[in-house]
Structure 1
Amino acid sequence: MPVSVTGFDKSERLMWAGRGAAYAGSFAKLCAYPVPQLLDAAEVGPGVRMLDVGTGPGTVAAAGCARGATVTAVDSEPSMVDLARLSVPGADVRVAVLPELPFDDGEFDAVVGNFVLNHVGQPKGALTELRRVVRPDGRIALTIWAAPPAPGHALLGRAIQAAGAVRPPHLPAGLAREEDFPRDESGLTGLMESAGLREAACETLRWGHRATAEEWWSGPAAGVAFGGQMVQSQTPQVRAEIKRHFDLLSTEFAGPDGVLTLPHAALLARARH
């Protein structure tokens, strides 16, 4: 049965509309860190038919092509697809939206999703769809952000809270209770098993992302992701307070050269159809 589109899904699509370039210039470098491990987990190599779900500007798709895979990549946001088509001419890149993908059953040997499961309203339904399009005994590999967030990931949220910002009504409060799951290794493994996947396993990746404070602020300032929408929806006075607190808190992560080293943690899960 098709999985319904939730209010969370609709809010996410509005949140990312037209923000491909802003994401590519800010958070894309952060999200690129797990890509080699993600492709290893999915056993992507020469001749593998790989689907990259939520490709963004095409980072994972490009890495898959470099390994000799036959790559199809999709994203729900047209501005992301435009970027990916330019950066990965060797891939078949198109607009498509979870939880309903325009592919046949078992069409791919491997399916990967780098930080895409964070952005769907029914994660189990999304995984069931990914299971459908991968062949029997094929591999699925995914990353999501761990919770509670690592200190670098939490920096913007701390600044928003310190400034007394109020959540606007158009931003979702989170997944419905029956759809949510613990954002830890056992929680993600359990979710994959509940979607009928086999041999599910998960590990935590930790790294320090290096960026200048200006680069790190550029994403929120452009309205990228939930934090950026929080920033942009405030009054000018509150936005200024968020930036002031952001600048103060950023000093905790600054090295002698002024560049920030921001600790992050993500979950990397793999399973087999």
Structure 2
Amino acid sequence: MVSAAQAREKYDQLVDRYEEIFFYVGTVGQRLVEFAAPAPGSRVLDVGAGRGAVTRAALGLGCSVTAVDASPKMIARLVEDHPEVTGVAMDAAHLDFADGAFDLAAAGFVVQVLDDPAAVLGEVHRVLRPGGIVALSLETQSVGRLGWFQDLTLEFFAPSTEAGPPPPADDSTEQTGPLTHDRLDALLADTGFADVERLSIEMPVPITDPPALWDWLLPRGLAEIHGTLPEDRRAEFHTRFLAGAQTMHDDGGITLDFAATLHRARRP
């Protein structure tokens, strides 16, 4: 979870390569708007708009779009690309809009990075008209066949575990761990939304060989953590990474299994 200030700093830095790194946001933004099914002319609020995946999809259906994001640079670039959009740099937990101002509020891969998703959902509920729709996408947390990579990174980068293992996960709305699809549905209901629905989607990404996997992961966070290691440890990590990836390649090929859930609900 991140604060608004942390989100602003992070996404300001990623403005030029956001959809290159997070390759799936465009496809999921389109699927999310299709799932929400707004009518032409609907007033759409794109919360945490980023480079505009949801905005583009809503514009394509003839909607009127207002986009907000914690990052001023993201909003500036979005409005530059789409002058017909009203773009505002804004904290999603304090939406400066009138009650009932929108027919649809959508947020693509936003709720899982918020420090207080319940507060944001409360604001979304307020700015939707009665009968308005909220549509959210949530990235599925799954290690899958990359368990070897998780083990390798834990060995090289995790702090000491002398204090013992973490407590077991509790999937209640009070849980402080990663946001799950069940918790998100519960939060929507607790906020006062009705008719909560959910759709699962999968986005497999095939990778040709171990060096290609390394190159794919570098701009997605690997370069930053790898660079923190001493030179000898960097070399060892790289060698063992390639060995683990080769085992994965030989055992059915290297495929990254990205998945997400789409959530839709109605304000009564």
Q: TM-score, normalised by structure 1?
A: 0.76
1:137–1:272 CA contact under 8 A, matched in 2: yes
Q: Residue in 1 aligned with 2:81?
A: 87
Among 114, 118, 136, the residue aligned to 1:120:
114
Q: 1:49 pairs with 20, 36, 43, which one? A: 43
In structure 2, the partner of 1:145 is: 139
CA distance change for structure 1 residues 235 and 127 in 2, over 3 Å: closer, same or farther?
same
The answer as to 2:214 corresponding to 1:220 is no
SS in 1 for 2:78: helix
In the alignment, which of 27, 30, 33 is matched to residue 39 of structure 1? 33
Partner Cα distance (2:53, 2:97) in 1: 22
Q: Flag the 1:7–1:146 CA change in 2: closer, same or farther, 3 A.
A: closer
Question: What's the Cα RMSD here?
Answer: 3.1
Aligned to 1:109: 103
DSSP 3-state at the match of 2:31: helix
What's 2:174 paired with? Answer: 178
Q: Are positions 1:19 and 2:14 aligned together? A: yes
Report the CA distance between 1:199 and its aligned residue.
0.8
Using the alignment, how far apart are the partners of 1:68 and 1:103 within structure 2? 22
Contact between 1:153 and 1:263, CA under 8 Å: does it hold in 2? no
The 8 Å contact of residues 209 and 261 in structure 1, kept in 2 or not, is answered as yes
Candidates 261, 265, 268, aligned match of 1:271: 265
Deviations 1:67-109 (A, max 9, x none): 1111111110123223322333331122111201121111110
Which SS does the other structure have where 1:25 is aligned?
Answer: helix
Aligned residues between the structures: 247
CA contact (8 A) 1:125 1:195 kept: no
State the shift of 1:35 in Å.
2.0
Which residue of structure 2 lines up, in the alignment, with residue 3 of structure 1? none
CA distance in 2, matches of 1:25, 1:9: 23
**Within 1, Cα distance between the matches of 2:10 and 2:181?**
28
- The alpha carbon displacement at 1:55 in A equals 1.0
Greater RCO (CA < 8 Å, at least 6 residues apart): 1
Change (3 A) 1:17 1:140: same
CA distance in 2, matches of 1:189, 1:7: 21
Secondary structure of 1:32's counterpart equals helix
Deviations 1:26-80 (A, max 9, x none): 11x2222322321122222411111111111112111111111111111101232
Q: Does structure 2 conserve the Cα–Cα contact (< 8 Å) formed by 1:204 and 1:266? A: yes
* Preserved CA contact (<8 Å) 1:131 1:197: yes
Q: Identical aligned pairs, as a percentage?
A: 26
* Gapped regions of structure 1 (runs ≥ 5): 1-5, 168-176, 224-230
* Larger Rg, first or second structure (1 or 2): 2
Q: Deviations over 1:1-46 (max 9, x none)?
A: xxxxx9744444444342222323311x222232232112222241
